[in-house]
Amino acid sequence: MFDGRVLLKQVILLFWPLISTWVQGAEKIDSCQLQVLEMLSSLGSAGGKSAKPSFVSYVTPEEIKSEKEPSRKEKHPDLLPGEVVFCSASTVLKYTQDDLSQRGVFGVLLCTNFRVSFVSDEEPTEEMLFKNKLYGENDIPLSCVDNIYGDKRKLITGGLVKNKYPSKMIIHCKDLRVFQFSLSFSKEEDAKKIFQGIVHHCLEPKSLRCLFAFSYCENTSYPGSYTVENTSKKQTVMFDSVEDWTQDMKRTKGNCRVVSENSNFELSPKMLTAVAHNHLYSVKTEDLSDTLPTVQDILLSYNKFKQFFLIDNTTEFWMSDMKWFSSLDNCGWLDIIRQCLQKAVEVVESLEKENTNVLIMEEGGSDLCCVVSSLVQLMLDPYYRTLLGFQSLVQKEWVAGGHAFLDRSNHLHLKDKVESPVFLLFLECVWQLQQQHGPAFQFSETYLTVLSDSVHVPVFTTFLFNNDGHRDSLLRAESPHTQRSPLNCPTVWDWSVQFDCKAQDLFTNPLYTEKPKQDTSVRKSYRPRHLRQLSLPSSAFKTPPKKGFFKDEADNLKKILGVKRLSRWMLSPSSDSPQTSSSVREFYEAWQTKPLDYHGLLLPCLDGPSIRVWMQRYLRWIHDVQILGGGPVAMLSKVSEILGEVQELQRQLDRHGCTLTSNHKGARPRAKTAAAVIAARSSVRLSSSFPFVTSRNWAFKPAIPTSLLQSLMVTGMPGNLADREDDGGPESLV
Amino acid sequence: MNKQFWYGIISHWSLSYSIHVFCNSVDSTSTSRSDRSTHAAKTPYAMSSDNVSTSTEFSPELRVLRDSNKEEPQLLPKESVQDMAKDVTYICPYIGALRGTLTVTNYRLFFRCMDREPAFVLDLPLGVVSRVEKIGGASSRGEVSYGLVCKDIRNLRFAHKQMEDSLRKSIFEILMKFAFPVSNGLPIFAFEYGQVYPENGWKVYDAQAEYKRQGIPNESWRITKVNDHYEVCDTYPSNLVVPVNIPDEELKRVAAFRAKGRIPVLSWIHPESQATVTRCSQPMVGVNGKRSKDDEKYLQAIMDANAQSHKLFIFDARPSVNAAANKMKGGGYESEDAYQNAELVFLDIHNIHVMRESLRKLKEVVYPNIEESHWLSNLESTHWLEHIKLILAGALRIADKVESGKTSVVVHCSDGWDRTAQLTSLAMLMLDGHYRTIRGFQVLLEKEWLSFGHRFQLRIGHGDKNHTDADRSPVFLQFIDCVWQITRQFPAAFEFNEYFLVTILDHMYSCLFGTFMCNSEQQRVKEELPKKTVSLWAYINSQLEEFTNPLYVNYSNHVLFPVVSMRHLELWVGYYIRWNPRMRPQEPVHQRYKELLAKRAELQKRVEELQRDVTNRSASSTERAGSPTRSITPVQTFV
């Protein structure tokens, strides 16, 4: 089963240095070791070989030229560096409401190497506060296109498009926007061209180098080129160098040694690191394949789930409203979220209560492993609940951890890749934690939503590759310059690429509880000792002697692991889920009785009502469910106001030359949010879709649900209660 | 220091999460705080460090901790112990069997288990008990078991040793007696409880003052005294607002054509457009399609009173099928032939029996434990939230017609005291910011529910053992649930918090206050409730900070249009699932806002002190750094 040549399963070892520190205390430090493992992998074909360039530009150079005629050029959106228009059509009608009302605006529809863009003939509306610099509200990055439908809502698939084109085209986006265009007013030739162009560029297989990032980066000179000088680089730990790993070990007091054998991706091009814990014989294995859904299950469930939000017809929306809960239940998405969180809690329990190291594994080792291991760390380590800490976590567990972003998002539309929203699933889980324990997180819900959107913007290196080796080789190969300087693409963490400072202010949570410490540097001030006191029950745990037990040789470790895995398989083929859940239940209840510490261990409540739908992400574009003047922003704006006042008062006190004893440093970064929200409030109507949709143009009229009449089925009730009179018996008085 | 104390309390609460039952001892000076703390533990706003630190008289936790060795409850004035039994087992669905002492007074059931640290306490007013039943015979261990079904979504189960002396009554027989005083010829405890509060809560609502606030009387509407002695309609209040040009004699003829004499009267008038919300009962049309010229003229007068619109909307809360079925019993609905310019809309809200059944199913789904799989499907199968949605949708349509359409509306169901009350009060809550304040909400309840004769006595069944009574129905609970849903969508628009709503519901059942006694204003006057009982508002208004939403922004002129999609509706966990310790937040979110406000107050104080210093020292330069000491003016928003 485990013969070393054919790799059936890859294993990721979750290294959790914090735990060892918590449970062992400082005196044990010297005896630990770190292994960076080359992965037990001879790597299948997975992203290693780059596909042969199969992309043929749909338009000829002449056509591109013709697009640049002055008359049409003024209709272009502001093109990004390296962006080229492929084709366009004028007098396209973009419906503003649903397809039953035939209202809309006319404009030009374009397809570039980056996006599908609609430029309205009407005067552009005023600037939005929360404007994305890369694409506007009428732009769809090519990789963000999810599905395209033609007349009679017929799904368009690539390759089948011949000479026909539909009069109406509906585009569903991965960020859940829905666009509806009518092509029937355009010139036939143009309409055909734009339709075929969009279908070709959005749905048909292409090669990686056709992704916009390459053309964009060649034409952009990034300041500092993402080297150490860059501020963002300084803050978000990228885990792309030995130093980063060493730093993190120091931070978490893990005493391990970083091995850089794989620095040139020789051992495994896919795997950068797996980090083995020091006393491996007390390891507990968790095979996620046994208990969690597969990536295919995840995709299937999400595909059902997202349909509830891709609304192109108000009537249907309200029709579906009555069956909302059971539909939600049946698609299973919330259940998958719950299962992932539960698994993470189980792992935390082993780490915290039993002091066992946990080995998380699955086939491939880079999907649910990433989800679970990052969730575990999020629950245990408050550093990862800060904005930079979270980014470092994603960098460590996902980017360096080898999650196949490229395959999973399937930007290239290749048939042999398994697309699956695994990263989104992770963000969903984070959102659940954040909902339940708001003040523990420095970043906001908006931040998570934006991050989930950014996956589909093909500009950031973060999400374009399958692993570090893949990235490295491709960026080198694509570099127009010498072999030595690879192409510089921005990472998603450089938020200034997408948003200006004001908009970025909305990424922080104004109610975040800073750690009550004078030290401003979160990372340096981090002392696990403090946490240990508040963390769970901790038994008198004896660290087993381990000196010399563990050698550097990867082979040795492999052997040990192999044995572990085999024995587990034979002993318990599948864990009994009810049992697991009752143990998790007890663990949660025990934790719940302790005073809550936002800088200690956090556990999610997993009971039915506690797992919710991420309203902001999923409902933001649906007009009928916008709460005008309400939603979380109403709370945020009041909080911001109070914070603003608190700060003003603090300033006054400072002016008077006196300082309060308590720590007020925390208030400073929060003020940003305050300013941003207040600025927004003064210009537009805020709604529950804030900041994604501002309700400037909306009529101030409530959405009255239609189809109420057919809704309630009360037949089949005992005694047919519905037909009874309201007042049954004779009136009896007091 | 406060903070430390605070954490002490929190940990006490959370450690003793098993104390999950109280709701009622509200007496501010002599009661244990444990009841309040339990609320607090699951209602986010209730825990206030402010409160704990500042108002010691309202924070009897310390006393609880000190007195925790006592087996008896802290008694309210006029409360007396009726029976006490040791070695009773309480079978807690979350912890398991607990052995302790059970005390029954004329007001409450009190159980304390000393075996646990901290002691486990169950403290519930007998008013919440819906039925007591003996479960099975004596078990092998010689124990008999009793189940208490409660009105507040929980069941309690006790067991105790079979009495050797079979002549003596068991404690549960005593309990039966005092849980159902009405059935046993005893007075309800509210009539005995004599606590004095700083404010007389019965004065909160003054009909004339409220109509004056709305600008009534005016050139189109007058207050009539025709019902002064409840002769025209015994379920209506004495003060009624009717169109100016309809004389009292005609009102009586209209009353003859409306079920139970409940004629259309004004509930609310739009301050600008003069569009009105009027309420009534169904017209007595019958199978033959009877008409009443007086009624038709009357509705025309209502329409004419609003110059802005030449239309009138009649909202019939019922499903059209049910409305039609009512014709068989002499009732029915307005035909559009008879009422020109009127448009009839059915709102499809079901009757009290359907609602009662729905709540019963909901209780099955949420108590004691939530089934792990298919929570959402199970929830959907209760239809509870669908009913909530329909009620909210109806109220929204009414508010929209009045606000956006500037059209007057008439609202009725069959009798006009259940669904009609839900609809008018919710629409008024959306339309008028005054009702979103704590006192305004009290006025709204007093007016639309109490004075207009929602039959609380019958719907709740205070002190009545007949638990199968078909008149019982959670109509008011549904209304409060709807209010909660709106507060969720507009978290800054309400002066009150979740704890306020939970408290109102708890005391609707507790029978401690007179507020929800009787079925109509006439009965309340007859029973001299204001004289003989304490109003719930007296208690609430004596500690407003407990019930205040720290995020409240007074957008008084704003109309709220909630979204009535299921996507935005949620089960009210803080009420329906509050007995489940797992669903209880460790730290209520609003605690943080309160801390923030406290910090602001602290800084304000410091700044003021410093400014005083500065002024004193250099009297010459009196520079005022003023802005933050001003009260904040709500920033303009567009709602």
Quote the CA–CA distance of B116 and B94 in Å, as a whole number: 14
The fraction of chain A above a pLDDT of 90, given in percent, is 27
Quote the CA–CA distance of A219 and B304 in Å, as a whole number: 71
**B633 confidence band (pLDDT: 50, 70, 90):** very low
Cα A344 to chain centroid, rounded: 17
What pLDDT shows up at residue A117?
Answer: 94
Helix or strand holding residue A179 (H, E): strand A178-182
A124: closest CA of chain B, how far (Å): 23
A6 part of contact set with chain B, CB < 8 Å: no
Pairs from A429-433 (Cβ < 8 Å, separation ≥ 24): A429/A337, A429/A340, A429/A341, A429/A344, A429/A371, A429/A375, A430/A375, A430/A378, A430/A390, A431/A614, A431/A617, A432/A337, A432/A341, A432/A604, A432/A610, A432/A611, A432/A612, A433/A341, A433/A375, A433/A378, A433/A379, A433/A602, A433/A604
Chain B from 478 to 497: CB within 8 A of any A CB:
489-493
Cα A528 to chain centroid, rounded: 28
Q: Is the pLDDT score of A322 beyond 70? A: yes
pLDDT digits (tens, 9 = 90+) for A355-384: 777 777 777 778 898 999 999 999 999 999
Better-predicted residue by pLDDT, A54 or B522: B522
What pLDDT shows up at residue A677?
Answer: 67
- Best of B563, B592, B593, B609 to mutate (most A CBs within 10 Å, chain A): B563
Q: Is the pLDDT score of B639 beyond 90? A: no
pLDDT digits (tens, 9 = 90+) for A275-320: 333 333 346 677 777 788 999 999 999 999 999 999 877 888 888 8
Mean local confidence (pLDDT), B144-165: 87
What pLDDT shows up at residue B490?
Answer: 94
Q: Is the pLDDT score of B49 beyond 90? A: no
What pLDDT shows up at residue B523?
Answer: 97
- Which of A668-677, A712-721, B52-61, B77-86 bottoms out in mean pLDDT, i.e. has the lowest? B52-61
B354 part of contact set with chain A, CB < 8 Å: yes
Chain B from 266 to 295: CB within 8 A of any A CB:
none
What pLDDT shows up at residue A225?
Answer: 42
Better-predicted residue by pLDDT, B553 or A48: B553
What pLDDT shows up at residue A674?
Answer: 63
Mean local confidence (pLDDT), A721-733: 53
CB nearest to B15's CB, from A593, A608, A721? A593
Chain A from 226 to 255: CB within 8 A of any B CB:
none
Answer yes or no: are the C-beta atoms of A366 and A401 closer than 8 Å. yes
pTM for the whole structure: 0.83
Most confident range, picked from A284-293, A571-580, B215-224: B215-224
What pLDDT shows up at residue B597?
Answer: 83
Tell me how far CA of residue B104 lies from CA of A317, A584, B161, in angstroms: 54, 38, 17
Dihedrals φ, ψ of A449, to 5°?
-60, -45
What pLDDT shows up at residue B628?
Answer: 37
B535: closest CA of chain A, how far (Å): 18
B551 part of contact set with chain A, CB < 8 Å: yes
- Which of A649-658, B194-203, B269-278, B435-444 bottoms out in mean pLDDT, i.e. has the lowest? A649-658
ω into residue A480 within 30 of 0, thus cis? no
- Please give the structure tokens belonging to residue A401: 């951890």
**B458 confidence band (pLDDT: 50, 70, 90):** very high
Tell me how far CA of residue B53 lies from CA of A25, B7, B50, B602, in angstroms: 38, 12, 5, 14
Mean local confidence (pLDDT), B530-553: 94
What pLDDT shows up at residue B168?
Answer: 66
CA nearest to B570, candidates A320, A623, A339, A608: A608
What pLDDT shows up at residue A655?
Answer: 78
What pLDDT shows up at residue B371?
Answer: 82
B336: closest CA of chain A, how far (Å): 20
Most confident range, picked from A393-407, A445-459, A470-484: A445-459
What pLDDT shows up at residue B285?
Answer: 96
Mean pLDDT of chain A: 71
Binding residues of B for substrate, as ranges, are 326-329, 351-352, 413-419
Q: Is the pLDDT score of A530 beyond 60? A: no
What pLDDT shows up at residue A685?
Answer: 66
What pLDDT shows up at residue B70?
Answer: 64
E strands, B289-413, are: 312-316, 342-346, 408-412
CA nearest to B627, candidates A332, A326, A641, A239: A641
Q: Is the pLDDT score of A546 beyond 70? A: no
A509: closest CA of chain B, how far (Å): 13
Mean pLDDT of chain B: 84
pLDDT digits (tens, 9 = 90+) for A200-228: 999 888 888 888 888 888 787 655 444 44
Q: Kindly determine whether residue A688 and residue B566, on different chains, have CB atoms separated by under 8 Å.
A: no
Better-predicted residue by pLDDT, A256 or A511: A511
Q: Is the pLDDT score of B328 beyond 80? A: yes
What pLDDT shows up at residue A522?
Answer: 38
- Which of A10-24, A474-488, B524-538, B568-582 bottoms out in mean pLDDT, i.e. has the lowest? A10-24
Quote the CA–CA distance of A16 and A396 in Å, as a whole number: 12
Mean local confidence (pLDDT), A20-42: 31
Q: Kindly determine whether residue A705 and residue B564, on different chains, have CB atoms separated by under 8 Å.
A: yes
Q: Is the pLDDT score of A686 beyond 60? A: yes
pLDDT digits (tens, 9 = 90+) for B555-571: 767 899 999 999 999 99
- Which of A118-132, A336-350, A388-402, B468-482 bottoms out in mean pLDDT, i.e. has the lowest? A118-132
CB nearest to B610's CB, from A324, A513, A653? A653
- Please give the structure tokens belonging to residue B221: 């509407």
pLDDT digits (tens, 9 = 90+) for A163-174: 788 999 999 999
Q: Is the pLDDT score of B65 beyond 50? A: no
Cα A241 to chain centroid, rounded: 24
CB pairs under 8 A between A and B: 282
Q: Is the pLDDT score of A574 beyond 80? A: no
Q: Is the pLDDT score of A697 beyond 70? A: no
Q: Kindly determine whether residue A638 and residue B551, on different chains, have CB atoms separated by under 8 Å.
A: yes
Q: Is the pLDDT score of B410 beyond 50? A: yes
What pLDDT shows up at residue A32?
Answer: 31
Q: Kindly determine whether residue B350 and residue A655, on different chains, have CB atoms separated by under 8 Å.
A: no
Mean local confidence (pLDDT), A522-526: 37
Type of residue at B306: N
Mean local confidence (pLDDT), A310-332: 88
Binding residues of B, as ranges, are 326-329, 351-352, 413-419
Most confident range, picked from A50-64, A454-468, B618-632: A454-468
Q: Kindly determine whether residue A734 and residue B527, on different chains, have CB atoms separated by under 8 Å.
A: yes
A558: closest CA of chain B, how far (Å): 39
Tell me how far CA of residue A224 lies from CA of A81, A482, A488, A492, in angstroms: 18, 17, 10, 16
- Which of A96-100, A550-554, B392-396 bottoms out in mean pLDDT, i.e. has the lowest? A550-554
**B595 confidence band (pLDDT: 50, 70, 90):** confident
pLDDT digits (tens, 9 = 90+) for A237-273: 887 777 777 777 777 665 555 555 454 444 443 333 3
B390 part of contact set with chain A, CB < 8 Å: yes
pLDDT digits (tens, 9 = 90+) for B496-520: 999 999 999 999 999 999 999 999 9
What pLDDT shows up at residue B379?
Answer: 95
- Please give the structure tokens belonging to residue B267: 């509930």
Chain A from 570 to 629: CB within 8 A of any B CB:
581, 585, 588-589, 592-596, 605, 607-610, 612-613, 615, 619, 624-629
Which residue reads 């002091």 in tokens?
A355
What pLDDT shows up at residue A684?
Answer: 57
Question: What DSSP line would sit under B582-621, residue for residue?
Answer: GGS-SS-HHHHHHHHHHHHHHHHHHHHHHHHHHHHH-SS-
Quote the CA–CA distance of A227 and A234 in Å, as a whole number: 9
Q: Is the dihedral of CA B422, B423, B427, B432 positive or negative?
A: negative
Chain B from 507 to 546: CB within 8 A of any A CB:
517-519, 523, 527
